Amino acid sequence: MKNNFRYNKNKQRNIKKLRLIISCIVIAVIVVVGSTIMAQKFSANKQNVQAQAVEANKQTDSQGENASSKETENNITKESDSEVENPAFIEKYLDQQMKGQKPDGADGKKVVYLTFDDGPSETVTPQILDTLKNENVHATFFLIGKYIDKDDTSKNLVKRELAEGNAIGNHTYSHDYNYLYPNGKINLQNCMSDFEKTEQSLKNVLGQDFSTRAIRFPGGQMTWSKKDPTGADAMDKSLHGKDWHQIDWNALSADAEGSPKNAEQLKDEVIKTVAGREKAIILMHDTYGKEETAKALPEVIKYLKGQGYEFKIMK
């Protein structure tokens, strides 16, 4: 009897323990399941918030791009009030003029852009810079990368151009027609590579923050638009993707055309080709062998001032 009592008592204790264990297991399962559900809800809410944030950013970016696009559109149809002009404005102005259209930017205001290609040179560029400084006007220099990298003297000339208030444009690295235009066709990859190489040369000299949006093709974009219109269109798209704009000209000194000319003849060519121009973008050169251009420049500037032109640069 006594043994039965002990047995029953132990049995009751074991049942209680078992119930306790089962209760603990059930509670643990409930906690785990509940935690999992809460975690899933939290994750879903987080993903929802992130998705909303991404969508909001997309809308903001889209609005920013639209605003930027609208600003660019406004800029290229309206001339700057400062000495520095947006290259996109000049690119569009020249393109419309070349097509026989009245440029959107035509406003009756006489503006001239002195531009010099193929430098820097240690012989002619310093003379050009001295004249510009003496006349208190500025110009845009379209530089060739291989001449920038030539030596320290060339690099210092590039620094001087910028320090004295002039603008710098990109005129490819090699200026090699066979490489840039094999078989008379624009090679997009070679051209972009050459422009990018010159951009890096400029950054190496002027600092990594330096940039220019003014691009000029050897021979001019107008030449290749006629010879290779498909290639020219593809080139424009690639340039505009980097906010680069090709700048041709609508007046020149003819210092790289026909037989060699003296300073007086070069001045006469400028006068002839500027005639009737509201916005005159004048092509000249400051490379080796262009000493007569340097001699002609003071008289060219004097004439343009006498005609009421305002001098601007582009970058």
CATH of the domain at 229: 3.20.20.370
Tell me, yes or no, whether 241 and 102 share the same domain: yes
Q: Which residues are catalytic?
A: 117, 285
Do 52 and 181 lie in a common domain? no
Number of other residues whose CB lies within 10 A of the CB of residue 137: 22
Helix (H), strand (E) at residue 107: none
pLDDT at 201: 98
> Is there a contact between 94 and 250 (Cβ–Cβ < 8 Å)?
yes
> How many domains would you assign to the chain?
2
Q: What is the pLDDT of residue 273?
A: 98
> What per-residue confidence (pLDDT) applies to 13?
60
- Distances from the Cα of 94 to the Cα of 70, 99, 249, 275, angstroms: 21, 9, 7, 16
Angle of CA points 250, 254, 260, to nearest 5°: 175
- The reply to whether 35 and 144 lie within a common domain is no
Q: What is the pLDDT of residue 59?
A: 47
pLDDT score for 67: 41
pLDDT tens series, the chain, 315 aa: 544 445 455 556 655 666 666 665 656 555 554 555 555 554 444 454 344 444 444 444 444 444 444 444 445 778 888 999 999 999 999 999 999 999 999 999 999 999 999 999 999 999 999 999 999 999 999 999 999 999 999 999 999 999 999 999 999 999 999 999 999 999 999 999 999 999 999 999 999 999 999 999 999 988 878 889 999 999 999 999 999 999 999 999 999 999 999 999 999 999 999 999 999 999 999 999 999 999 999 999 999 999 999 999 999
pLDDT at 246: 96
End-of-domain residue from the set 77, 110, 129: 77
Q: Which of 77, 104, 129 is the last residue of a domain?
A: 77
- Asked whether residue 30 falls in the same domain as residue 55, the answer is yes
Choosing from 77, 96, 123, the residue where a domain stops is: 77
Which residues are CB-contacts of 269 (< 8 A; sequence separation ≥ 6)? 252, 253, 254, 261
Residue 62: the pLDDT is 43
- Same-domain check for residues 88 and 14: no
- How far CA 121 is from CA of 77, 87, 195, 196, 217, in Å, comes to 35, 25, 19, 21, 19
Residues 107 and 190 in one domain: yes
Residue range of the domain that includes 4: 1-77
Q: Do 239 and 293 belong together in one domain?
A: yes
One domain for residues 72 and 108: no
